[in-house]
Chains A and B, each alone.
Chain A
Amino acid sequence: MGCSLASSLVDLKKELKRSHDPDFLFIEPSEMVVTQELRDVTAMGLRDIRYDIGPFITLVDGPLFEFLWSERRALLLGQVKNADLVAVSRADSIDVGELNKVQQALAGYCSKVIPLSVRSGDGLAEVVKRVCGEV
């Protein structure tokens, strides 16, 4: 994320805080942004406005994991490392063996990997707790 993008993100954050002050502000970056970069940028702005930070959630596409692991591993790990929660998304589309493979592959890079499916609802309760700061 370049300086101008980081600056734009900080400006938008300030504008939303001042105009609406929502309880929650979600940031959905492009697929090329890694978590540490996002952490650094998210902390910018604290000089001017007050807000709480976290969690940083990384979604790992379950059905696409093999491709991501073989072709885009550096980017994938950049998003997994330093995340507060890593969730294997579309987990209802892969079998238990595949899910175990993903969890084992990522185990050394993050503290916890949970299965998630917005469609079936699996894992959503834990994500909501994290988002609300209850974990």
Chain B
Amino acid sequence: MRPLIVIRHTPNIDFMRWHKLAFAFSLFLALLTAGLFFTQGLNYGIDFVGGTTIEARSLDGPADLAAMRSKLDALHIGQPSLQGFGPPTDVLIRIPRQPGGDAAQMQAVAKVRQALGSHIQYRSVEVVGPSVGSELVRAGTIATILAMVAIAIYVWFRFEWQFGVGAMISTLHDVVTTIGLFALLRLEFDLTTLAAILTVAGYSVNDTVVIYDRVREAMRKYRTMSLRELINLSLNETLSRTILTVSTVALAVIALLVFGGPVLRGFSIAMLWGVVIGTYSSLFIAAPVLYYVQPNRAAIGRSVDTPKAPRAQRTM
């Protein structure tokens, strides 16, 4: 049984021709993110800032948002927001963080439950006190930074430090622009988004490593080829793999986005963006960066093999 679709020839695309444009574009995205981040900031979920989210379902037909709102307004618990959510019976209620520490959040929920009465089914209630929220912000930031440092160190050990720099820059790029997407679209940034961002970082490096592996191999094989040509060659040789892998991952993520339900929406959006931007950055950022940091080709040529995962280079 033969495949139906085959890319018969290695393409010959001059990726390096586009790299300056790509750098400019990415710089623009990064600056845009920074601008959005520092002006309007992220739409943090209660995981990070504390507060309450309630998913309620009215048991007597469509939910009466106005009536519910007036009941909640009478409680004086800040500015609760109500919005329809899925079927007309469902309402998503957000209560901002209450002044007065962890216990105050819990009291607010008890009040809301009392005020809304018994003809409400609570599909989910999430209350996060401010002390946990600030811890999660810290842990999340540390995790993201550590992930990137760990990845850079790993790539540095497996390759040369120049490759580590390239991987770090492109991973940072992907993480930053994913945050930028959330700032731009005002999507809720919560713990699962953070998980998605860390996964994006992992995926992005994964993609970059595959290309770097090929660049290094080409450096050993074609000692006299110019670095620019060499990068182009490696990108072209791995292009079909790049496209196929991004496709399968994207297919899985789209399945999640469409069928995974509202809880996973933020996660899926972050992943989908991350997969696409991660592929772009491997092609147009990570690889061209090598052109500027100039790996030590003589050293790579000498080291036929790296100790960690021996490969059959000798057969060449």
A and B associate? no
